Structure 1
Amino acid sequence: MTAGNNGASTPEDDDPFGYLYADGQANGAQPPSGAGGYGYPGSVNRVRAVGQRQYGQQAPAAATAPYGQVPQQGAQGQASAHYAAPETFPGSAPTTHQPQPSYGGGGGGRRGPNTKGLLIGAIAVVAAVVIGIAVAMTVGDGNDDASGNEASATPTVSQSAEPSPSNSNSAASEDDLPTIDAKALALGGTAATASDVKGAKADGGVYITGFNQVGSSVTWTVNNIPKSGKYSVYVGYSVPGKDQNATLTVNGTASNTPVDLKNWANAAEGDYAKGWTQTYNYIQLNKGTNTIKVSCEQGNQCDALLDQMWLVKGWVKS
């Protein structure tokens, strides 16, 4: 730096507003003017007129200047390298505008979400749910039908082979058919009631005796049969250690199959008390009232005691 007062000693002391202070005015600070800068005489002037800077031209190498002096400008119309824009240096990236890629089909705007694909996916999900529900309902209905229509391989007996004694001849239901004791039966011929022999299951131990004469009979009038069809009629009896038989008549028609009064209890001959057992015959009954008759006819061996009769739905064994 040459001798003399060139302004502030250092650039940071170059106060552009020094003219406002007494010490700045003492050092020659001046207010700004229209043609030049402001501050101390000889201070760095970095003001550039509008439109003076040129772009797109090769800038010369920056000139160095003594500390505190303004570097020299290049050729007329060219800016100093110190103030050249970055895009003017050799090898710099082009400053032209690069068009953005288009995402649309035919227009220049950005394409929105793929609503068609989303719609197809939603329809597929709904269809899968509907199909699953339909399959579950079909399988459930099939299982219900199978369980509801399943039938037993063998018929069931609705009443015990040894019913409790009863004198009732009340109305019958399909699953609760009646039982009748000896003293409630209508007797014919020499048939009569007695209770001397032990072991009868009828109420009071009462049974039918005198059945061993042709023309003797017992008749059961059954009311309110719930449904026409197949039934089994059971007879409780005792024989004195030997097989016997009788004739069965239903609603006035004699059966070709006799009432088989065999010695199933294996009682000794003449021992009525040990000979109590039961037998059955298959019959057809009508809905409503029916008559069932057991009689001693010509050709029968009728030496037996009778104590009860009862019905079972269907043709069954017990």
Structure 2
Amino acid sequence: MTPGTNGASTPEDNDDPFGYLYADGQANGAQPPSGGYGYPNSVSRVRAVGQRQYGQQAPTASYGQVPQQGTHGQPNNHYAAPETLPGGTPTTRQHGQGGGGRGRGPNTKGLLIGAVAVVAAVVIGISIAMLGDSPDDKKNDAGASAAPTASQHPTTTPSATSSVAQDGELPKIDAKALLLGGGATTASDVKGAKADGGVYVGGFNQVGASVTWTVNGIPADGKYTLFVGYGVPGTDGTATLTLNGTPSSTPVKLKNWAGAPAGDYEKGWTKTFNWIQLNKGTNTIKVSCEQGNQCDANLDQLWLVKGWVK
């Protein structure tokens, strides 16, 4: 080589260290250097275009070919993100377990608890509404419905019924609770009647007039005493007693025991009695004005006593 020249004007086959990278160089037999770029102890080695490796040997794809994708859902080494490779930085986003990358589903347990609570509240509300009526309210309602109106008249009841009290005491009945017949009516003009409100049975001084009393719960067959409260105008009278449909041979004596002057009903209030036989259970007692009786009297009460007494 002489001064002013740099060698041959045409490079020799092996003058270009990168000739093996080109098709004409390869055709002329160019070979890649054994030491990597021709430098001793070089770490990197020249690879053909299309080859790349991140920590492991990757398959080589020919020029113009698209590398095959991995199994569905699995990363491909050629297109894996840096953070997925060994030593890569993990991402800050975390997926829920078992979610497959999906967000957490609705809290079905919480919804179920809420629905149960709503149903329980409705049931409790209905129960409170059903239990709102107190026993006192029911008692008042029953009492209100049972009380007779002002337009009801005692004489219109189909029968006068009384029952023996729980303590064994035999019943008593006032005139306005008796079943009236034959023209007998209730009145309160004459003072002194013992019945509630001073009410008594008038209009008894006519044949066919009667009062009837049905008694329930007589404890046993036997002897009883019937008392009749009445008032006469200073004169004696009589009436007929019928027990369970059978007339008694002994009349009801309506004597002027009070010693009232003639015509004075107010001072003639007194009582009389008859000894009778009653059956166990229900009995019917009737006092009436029949043919041959002297019935000029007002009746105010009837009551029973066990045994024959005076």
Shorter-chain TM-score category? 0.3 to 0.5
Q: Normalization by structure 1: what TM-score?
A: 0.46
Q: Normalization by structure 2: what TM-score?
A: 0.47
